[in-house]
Structure 1
Amino acid sequence: MLRGKVYLLKTCSTCKRILKQVKLFGDFEVRDVKTEPLTMDEVDELAGKVGGYELIFNKQSQKYRQEGLKNKDLTEEEYRQLLSEEYTFLKRPVFVIDDKLFVGNSKTTIDLLTKYLASTNK
């Protein structure tokens, strides 16, 4: 059976729905980023796998708007720092399977995740 890790918020209904959908394909170690925040090393690792900190940053976060960050031109280092300080800035869910990373809850991302899981589960 396929194994992987997923970073999410356990209180997020979208994350729960997606996890339920993909559990058919494998066993996932679930990590709630609110109760167990990412370390700077983990932030660096995730960003390294996708090609940048901005790509794992949640620009839909209420805190992003509240702090006026959408009006700023943030650097990669600023994204890095924000991700390590505030769990809501991580785009969720994040699935780490083998050397692949699937970030966010867009239909395209979930379709790619599901196809990848189905192809490796034969």
Structure 2
Amino acid sequence: MKKIYYLESCNTCQRILKELEPLDGVELQEIKSKAISPEQLEEMKNLAGSHEALFSRRAMLFRQRGLHEKELTEQDYKNLILDHYTFLKRPVLVLDNQIFVGNSKKVVEAAKEALHG
């Protein structure tokens, strides 16, 4: 399976999608218009190792909800990501049994290498 979870309104996601082209055979899922299912999140978690690894602390809601002052559990991370798309660190690229999470230069380069060899 080749799939990218991204946010249409995110300029960084748009830039990374352009960098990763061509995207032949890659399914794109825009997470605002088509929410992540619990099954999809579970699959991502299994590849990433934890829900925390998929969680974005940069989301504006993170501070607005006062979450930066709380000790969050794995279950909290899972529920928050399922509750609101902005809590997913993005983009997320799933390539068969590999996962690339986020937008750091290192992650994007590794994803590009894995995608195009």
Tell me the TM-score range normalised by the shorter chain: over 0.9
Distance (whole Å) between structure 1 residues aligned to residue 23 and residue 73 of structure 2:
37
- The answer to whether the aligner puts 1:113 opposite 2:111 as a matched pair is yes
The equivalent residue for 2:8 is 10
Q: What stretches of structure 2 of length at least 5 have no aligned partner?
A: none
Q: Deviations over 1:36-80 (max 9, x none)?
A: 111112111111111000000011000011111111110001111
The amino acid across from 1:51 in the alignment is G
5 Å-filtered alignment, 1:75-114, equals: 75-114=73-112
The equivalent residue for 1:44 is 42
How many matched pairs?
117
Structure 1 residue ranges, 4+ long, deviating more than 6 angstroms after superposition: none
- 1:27 aligned counterpart, secondary structure: coil
Percent identity, aligned pairs only, is 37
Distance (whole Å) between structure 2 residues aligned to residue 19 and residue 68 of structure 1:
32
Q: Is the 8 A contact 1:25 1:118 kept in 2?
A: no
> Relative to structure 2, which stretch is displaced further, 80-89 or 109-118?
109-118
TM-score (norm 1): 0.90
Distance (whole Å) between structure 1 residues aligned to residue 57 and residue 9 of structure 2:
19
The equivalent residue for 1:67 is 65
- 1:31 aligned counterpart, secondary structure: strand
TM-score (norm 2): 0.93
Distance (whole Å) between structure 2 residues aligned to residue 71 and residue 38 of structure 1:
26
Distance (whole Å) between structure 2 residues aligned to residue 16 and residue 113 of structure 1:
15
Distance (whole Å) between structure 2 residues aligned to residue 14 and residue 27 of structure 1:
22
Distance (whole Å) between structure 2 residues aligned to residue 100 and residue 33 of structure 1:
20
- RMSD over aligned CA atoms reads 1.3
Match of 2:53 among 52, 55, 61: 55
